[in-house]
C-alpha cells in the first residue's frame, strides 16, 4: 500500500512536470522549454506538493489536539490570522517579497493570542482552544473583510490571493518551505507515539508520561506555524487540512505514526494533482483556482469513503 502510494506520487510528479499550457518534449528540450521546465514548472510542482503536505500534516495534528472532527486551520484561526497580514500587506502596497513575512508575523501574533486565550490556570484544553480559535477567526476575518472593503483598488488582488494558488514560484520559496515542512514533520514524527495518547482522556495520557498540556501546546504551535508559512506563500487553500486527515484515518487507521505520514503524502498528492489539473484543464492558458479542483477531487473521494467505510472516520 505504502509502495503503491509512493509510485502514484512519483507518477503524478512526473506527469505534473510534463503537462502544462506549453508542451515539453522531455528528450529534446529547447532552451525555452528548459527555462520553463526548470525555472517555472518544476519549482511550482514541488512547491504545490510541499504546501499540500504542510496542510495535511497540520490538519492531522489539529484534529487530534482539539479532539474535534471539524478542527482545521480555519477553526483555530491560524489561516485567517496569517491571511490577514498578507491582505494588509497587499492592500498597503508593501513590496512583494515581504508579503509572506508580514503574513507570517500576523500568523504568529494570532497564534500567541489564541494560545493565551486558550490557557486557563496554566492548562490548555480542547474546548478552550476551540473557543479561543473562534474568537481569533472572527476578529481576523472581520479585519480582512474590512480591508477588502476599504482598499477596493486591491479588491481583485486580495480576493484572488485569498483564493489561494501557486502563482509565481521560484526556487527561493521552495527553499523556505521545504525545510519548514521537513522540520515540522520530523518534530511530529518523533512524537508520534505521544501524539497517539492525546486520543485518550487527559488523565490516562498524563499518567502514561505524556505532558499533555505541553504536548498540546507544542503540537498546536508547530501546526500553526506550518499553516502560517503555507498560507503566507499561497493564500488560503481550504479543506485539504480538513479532509485529508479524515481520509487517511479511514484508509490507514488511527495511529498517528501513519496518519502523520499519509496525511502529508496524500495532501501533497492531492494538491499537486489539483494544481496540474487547474493549470491544464482549460485550453488557452487560463488557470482555475486550485482550491476548486482540490475541493472537487478531495471532496469527491471523501464522499465516496463516507458512503463505503464510515466506521473508520471518528469514534461515535
Partner 1 sequence: MAELRVDKLRFRRGGFSLELDGLRIAPGEKVAILGENGCGKSTLLQLLAGLLPPDGGTLSYAGKPLKKIPMARRAQLFALLPQFSEVIFPFSVFEVVLFGRFPHRQGNAFTAADRQLSKEMLALLDLSDLAERPFSQLSGGEKRRVMLARVLNQQAPLLYLDEPNAGLDIRHALEIFSLLRERTETIVAPVHDINLAHRFFERFLLLKNGRLLADVPRDELTPELLAETYDVQVATGTAAFLFQH
Partner 2 sequence: AKRIVLLAPAAGDILLKLGAEDQVVGVTRSLREFPRARRVGSHIRPNLEIIRSLAPDLLIISSNRFFSEQMAAVVGAPVFTYHPRTLDEILQQIGELAALLDKMDAGRQLIARQQQKLAAIKPLATSPKVIFEVTAMPLMVAGSSNIVADIVARAGGVLLAPGRRKLVRFNPESVLAHQPDIYIYQVGPMNQNPIPPGKRGPLNRLRARFLRVDELQFSRANTRSFDNVLMLNRYFREANNG
Q: What are phi and psi of 120, to 5 degrees?
A: -140, 115
| Residues 71, 224 contacting (CB under 8 angstroms) | no
The answer to the question of residue 151 lying near its own copies (CB under 8 A) is: no
> How far is it, in rounded angstroms, from Cα 17 to Cα 35?
13
Task: Round to whole Å and give the CA distance between 136 and 79.
Answer: 10
Q: How far is CA 25 from CA 30, 34, 37, 43, 229, in A?
A: 8, 10, 10, 18, 34
Smaller CB distance to partner 2: residue 156 or 307?
156
Least distance CB 63 / partner 2 (angstroms): 30
Grid cell listed for 37: 521546465
**312 touches, from its own copies, partner 2, partner 1, none (C-beta below 5 to 8 Å by class):** partner 1
The interface partner of residue 192, options being partner 2, its own copies, partner 1, none and the CB cut-off 5 to 8 Å by kind, is partner 1
Which residues share a beta bridge with 119? 124
* Residue 254's binding partner out of its own copies, partner 2, partner 1, none, with CB under 5 to 8 Å set by partner kind: partner 1
- Interface with its own copies (CB under 8 A), residue from 246, 266, 268, 272: 246
**Binding-site residue total for partner 2 (CB under 8 A)?**
39
Contact positions vs partner 1 (CB under 8 A): 64, 67, 189-194, 196-197, 199-201, 203-204, 206-211, 249, 253-255, 257, 311-316
Binding partner selected for residue 170 from partner 2, its own copies, partner 1, none, CB under the kind-specific 5 to 8 Å limit? partner 2
Distance CA 249, CA 237 (A): 21
H/E stretch holding 124 reads strand 123-124
CB of 121 to partner 1, least distance (A): 9
Check binding of 282 to partner 2 (CB under 8 A).
Answer: yes
| Angstrom distance (rounded) from CA 111 to CA 222 | 10
Question: By CB under 8 A, is residue 149 in contact with partner 2?
Answer: yes
Binding residue (CB under 8 A) for partner 2 from 3, 4, 95, 203: 95
> What are the residues whose beta carbons fall under 8 Å from the beta carbon of 62, sequence distance 6 or more?
71, 72, 73, 75, 76, 220, 223, 241
Of the candidates 225, 224, 234, the residue with the CA atom closest to the CA atom of residue 86: 234
Please give the residue ranges that form the binding site for its own copies (CB under 8 A): 68-71, 75, 117, 120, 125-128, 130-132, 134-135, 138-139, 141-143, 145-146, 148-149, 152, 155-156, 159, 163, 238-239, 242-243, 246, 288-289, 291-292, 294-296, 298-299, 302-303, 306-307, 310, 313-314, 316
Amino acid at each position: 500500500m505504502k509502495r503503491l502510494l509512493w509510485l502514484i506520487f512519483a507518477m503524478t510528479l512526473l506527469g505534473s512536470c510534463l503537462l502544462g499550457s506549453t508542451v515539453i518534449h522531455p528528450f529534446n528540450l529547447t532552451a525555452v522549454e528548459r527555462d520553463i521546465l526548470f525555472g517555472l514548472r518544476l519549482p511550482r510542482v514541488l512547491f504545490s506538493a510541499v504546501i499540500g503536505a504542510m496542510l495535511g500534516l497540520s490538519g492531522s495534528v489539529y484534529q487530534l489536539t482539539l479532539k474535534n472532527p471539524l478542527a482545521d486551520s480555519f477553526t483555530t484561526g491560524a489561516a485567517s490570522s496569517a491571511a490577514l497580514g498578507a491582505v494588509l500587506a497587499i492592500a498597503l502596497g508593501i513590496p512583494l517579497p515581504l508579503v509572506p513575512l508580514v503574513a507570517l508575523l500576523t500568523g504568529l501574533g494570532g497564534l500567541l493570542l489564541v494560545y493565551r486565550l486558550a490557557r486557563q490556570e496554566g492548562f490548555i484544553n480542547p474546548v478552550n482552544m476551540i473557543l479561543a480559535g473562534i474568537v481569533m477567526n472572527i476578529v481576523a476575518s472581520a479585519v480582512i473583510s474590512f480591508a477588502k472593503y476599504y482598499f477596493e483598488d486591491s479588491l481583485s488582488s486580495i480576493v484572488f490571493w485569498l483564493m489561494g494558488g501557486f502563482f509565481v514560484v521560484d526556487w527561493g520559496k521552495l527553499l523556505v518551505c521545504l525545510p519548514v515542512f521537513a522540520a515540522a514533520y520530523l518534530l511530529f514524527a518523533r512524537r508520534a507515539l505521544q501524539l497517539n495518547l492525546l486520543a485518550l482522556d487527559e488523565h490516562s495520557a498524563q499518567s502514561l508520561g505524556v505532558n499533555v498540556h505541553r504536548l498540546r501546546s507544542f503540537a498546536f504551535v508547530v501546526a500553526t506555524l506550518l499553516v502560517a508559512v503555507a498560507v503566507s506563500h499561497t493564500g488560503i487553500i481550504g479543506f485539504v487540512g480538513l479532509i485529508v486527515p479524515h481520509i487517511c484515518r479511514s484508509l490507514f487507521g488511527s495511529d498517528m505514526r501513519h496518519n502523520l505520514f499519509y496525511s502529508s503524502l496524500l495532501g501533497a498528492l492531492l494538491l499537486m494533482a489539483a494544481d496540474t489539473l487547474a493549470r491544464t484543464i482549460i485550453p488557452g492558458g487560463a488557470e482555475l483556482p486550485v482550491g476548486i479542483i482540490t475541493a472537487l477531487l478531495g471532496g469527491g473521494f471523501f464522499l465516496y469513503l463516507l458512503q463505503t467505510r464510515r466506521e473508520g472516520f471518528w469514534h461515535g
